[in-house]
Amino acid sequence: MQLNYINWNPNPEIVNLFGISIRYYGLLFVSGLILSIVVLQYLYKREGLPKSHLDKLTNFGLIGIIIGARLGHCLFYEPAYYLAHPLEMLLPIKILESGGIELTGYKGLASHGGALGLIIALIIYSRVTKHKLLDALDLLAIVAGLGAGFIRLANLMNSEIVGQPSNVPWAFIFKQVDMLPRHPAQLYEALCYFAIFGLMLFLYRTNKDRLKNGTAFGLVLTLIFITRFFLEFIKEHQVSFEDKLMLNMGQLLSIPYIITGFVFILIGSRKYHLNNK
């Protein structure tokens, strides 16, 4: 028996307190960060690293992710608009034609930009703490899928980044978009990222020596962005200019990360074998 399609129409806003909007996106984004930090506490303790290092990593990483993800969306997907409205890149506002200001929240964040911002933040962190950059990258790689999965759940609650029309029995009807049953691409992606997190944690606990020298970082880059590349085939394009492209912007931006990931895996594996001869 075929299941009924899932009618999806949650209000993105959970509650509004004295003009302050609390939304599912922000709640899930913060939840993913908190859980990632909890896992990192376990990893840092197991590696014998001081808590002060983790505090710095948290501060630098959060700033890098938010700024990178925001600038990535603005410059990759809507450069013409945001270069003409630069204040709207970093402030959660919209400047109205009347001259007024509307508080909108951050409606556009790009994971490719967030990943780049995080890498830059890690370089700064490494210089400040003297924690070897590759070691820091490998530890952070273990929790990357966890945070990424929560962000895709946040997209699901916002009814954004929707999939293409489909007649699969588990299709979602995103009523805020249209009345067509569609692939819940956000849910597919979230589940894949959670699976990547589970795999990385398992590998760390069973064979962590093989994950050193950038191998874990390379493996996560490869897995996450290969997942992103192929799932883009069942997503609707986010901006109109992508209709003219053979591959959409998400896929084009994923390719350098996949190549970089393979390079790190090869270099890390070579160092492992040389050290264990």
At residue 19 the predicted structure's pLDDT band, cuts being 50, 70 and 90, is low
* Domain assignment of residue 20, yes or no: no
Q: Is 220 helix (H, G, I), strand (E, B) or coil?
A: helix
Same domain (yes/no): 146, 195: yes
Please give the residue range of the domain that contains residue 189. 30-46+132-277
**How does DSSP classify residue 208?**
G
**Whether 217 and 126 share a structural domain:** no
Q: Is residue 141 part of a domain?
A: yes
* Domain-embedded: residue 252: yes
What residues contact residue 266 under an 8 Å CB cut-off, 6+ apart?
218
User: How far from 219 is each of 27, 28, 121, 254, 266, CA to CA, in Å?
Assistant: 29, 25, 20, 14, 10
Same domain, 142 and 222: yes
- What is the 8-class DSSP label of residue 171? -
Whether the CB-CB separation of 97 and 104 falls below 8 Å is answered with no
Number of domains composing the chain: 2
Residue 36's alpha-carbon distances to 32, 161, 195, in angstroms, are 6, 23, 15
Closest CA relative to residue 137, chosen from 209, 215, 48, 225? 215
For the chain, first and last CA: distance in Å? Answer: 58
- Residue-wise pLDDT for 31-83, tens only, equals 999 999 999 999 999 999 999 999 999 999 888 888 888 888 788 777 887 78
Which has more pLDDT, 115 or 91? 115
Indicate whether 61 and 167 sit together in one domain. Answer: no
pLDDT digit string, tens, across residues 161-177:
999 999 999 999 999 99
Same domain, 65 and 78: yes
Q: Are 146 and 36 in contact (CB under 8 A)?
A: yes
pLDDT band, very low/low/confident/very high, at 1 (cuts 50, 70, 90): very low
H or E segment and range at residue 174 = strand 172-174
Write out pLDDT tens, residues 238-273: 777 778 888 988 899 899 999 999 999 999 999 888
Q: Which residue has the higher pLDDT, 137 or 98?
A: 137
Looking at the fold, whether 154 and 262 belong to one and the same domain comes out as: yes
Written as six digits, the tokens of 60 are: 């630098």
Comparing CA positions, the residue from 197, 90, 109 lying closest to residue 151 is 109
Quickly state the pLDDT bin for 106 (edges 50, 70, 90).
Answer: low
Q: pLDDT at position 137, please? A: 93
Whether 41 and 74 map to the same domain: the answer is no
Q: What's the pTM value of the predicted model, to 2 decimals?
A: 0.85
The distance from CA 136 to its chain's CA centroid, rounded to whole angstroms, is 18
**126 pLDDT band (50/70/90 cuts)?**
very high
User: At which of 73, 97, 130 does a domain end?
Assistant: 130
Looking at the fold, whether 105 and 160 belong to one and the same domain comes out as no
Question: Looking at residue 68, what is its pLDDT?
Answer: 85
Is residue 187 domain-resident?
yes
Per-residue confidence (pLDDT) for residue 103, from 0 to 100: 64
Strands 20-23 and 6-8: unpaired
- On whether the CB atoms of residues 148 and 224 are closer than 8 A, the answer is yes
What's the Cα-to-Cα distance from 201 to each of 69, 77, 79, 206, 277, rounded to whole Å?
A: 25, 33, 38, 9, 26
Query: pLDDT digit string (tens) for 180-233?
Result: 999 999 999 999 999 999 999 999 999 988 999 999 999 999 999 999 999 999
Position 214 scores a pLDDT of 93
Tell me which of 88-92, 232-236, 244-248 is least confident. 88-92
Task: Please indicate, yes or no, if residue 78 is contained in any of the structural domains.
Answer: yes
List residues bridging with 22 in a β-sheet.
Answer: 15
- Both tokens assigned to 9: 């129409």
CA distances from 211 to 150, 252, 277 (A): 24, 27, 17
Q: Same structural domain for residues 184 and 124?
A: no
Give the domain-ending residue among 130, 152, 187.
130
- If we measure between CA atoms, which residue out of 48, 8, 47, 3 comes closest to residue 156? 8
